[in-house]
């Protein structure tokens, strides 16, 4: 059974909803687990999250953005994720390195290898066992966001083309990484949960 599981996807793909459904199912089976998110998960990382996602921070340089994500990731990893794994807990995470590759490396065009290098330093090679990528047309994803969220963050305010490039980046990563399992995010949560459980068990 996989111990470290990450959920990835563009805005409005339903990562958090599916991860919460999986959490309930696994806890009902008596599995000890940690559910957490990026950027954030611990106080220092949450403080960095507020800087990254604040709508007023439109001047944030793409490389600075990538470095902030990596700094948040590092703090979260050493303070919360690695200790949980060492205790034998299963870890469910909303986003990890593939987010930075898709958003900053591919969509911001600062380079996949450059972002990999930053994150290899930040994570010291610690990577998840499996990644579930919830794939959705960005138009539909943004419609979900606009219908369900009271306020928008800085990434929600990006152009449709940016979100299309994020999707392209994710699908490129999935084609080149057998750990990434692509799920059709237009399906209902129960159907998606069944697919995830079939992979995990």
- Render pLDDT for 152-175 as a digit per residue (tens, 0 to 9): 788 877 899 999 999 999 999 999
- Would you place residue 2 in the very low, low, confident or very high pLDDT band (cuts 50, 70, 90)? confident
Per-residue confidence (pLDDT) for residue 155, from 0 to 100: 80
- Residue with the two structure tokens 């963050």: 153
- pLDDT tens for 38-61 read 999 999 999 999 999 998 998 999
Question: Are 134 and 185 in contact, with CB atoms under 8 Å apart?
Answer: yes
Query: How far is it, in rounded angstroms, from Cα 6 to Cα 15?
Result: 9
**Other C-beta atoms within 10 Å of 158: how many?**
18
End-to-end CA distance of the chain: 6
Q: Reduce the DSSP state of residue 156 to 3 states and report it.
A: coil
- pLDDT tens for 103-152 read 999 999 999 999 999 999 999 999 999 999 999 999 999 888 877 766 67
- pLDDT tens for 15-31 read 999 999 999 999 999 99
Tell me the whole-structure pTM to 2 decimals: 0.95
Domain boundaries, the chain: 4-200
Q: What is the CATH number of domain 4-200?
A: 3.40.50.300
- Smallest Cα–Cα separation from 130: which of 174, 173, 181, 183? 181
């Amino acid at each position: 059974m996989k111990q470290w599981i990450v959920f990835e996807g563009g805005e409005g793909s339903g990562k958090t909803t599916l991860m919460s459904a999986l959490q309930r199912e696994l806890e009902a089976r008596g599995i000890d687990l940690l559910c957490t998110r990026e950027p954030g998960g611990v106080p220092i990382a949450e403080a960095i999250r507020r800087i990254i996602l604040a709508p007023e921070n439109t001047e944030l340089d793409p490389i600075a953005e990538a470095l902030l994500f990596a700094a948040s990731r590092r703090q979260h990893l050493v303070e919360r994720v690695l200790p949980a794994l060492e205790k034998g807990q299963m870890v469910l995470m909303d986003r990890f390195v593939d987010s930075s590759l898709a958003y900053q490396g591919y969509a911001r065009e600062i380079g996949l290898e450059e972002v990999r290098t930053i994150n290899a330093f930040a994570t010291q090679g610690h990577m998840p066992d499996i990644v579930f990528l919830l794939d959705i047309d960005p138009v539909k994803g943004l419609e979900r966001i606009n219908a369900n969220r009271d306020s928008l963050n800085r990434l929600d305010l990006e152009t449709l083309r940016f979100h299309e490039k994020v999707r392209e980046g994710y699908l490129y990563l999935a084609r080149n990484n057998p750990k990434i399992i692509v799920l059709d995010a237009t399906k209902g949560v129960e159907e998606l949960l069944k697919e995830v459980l079939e992979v995990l068990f």
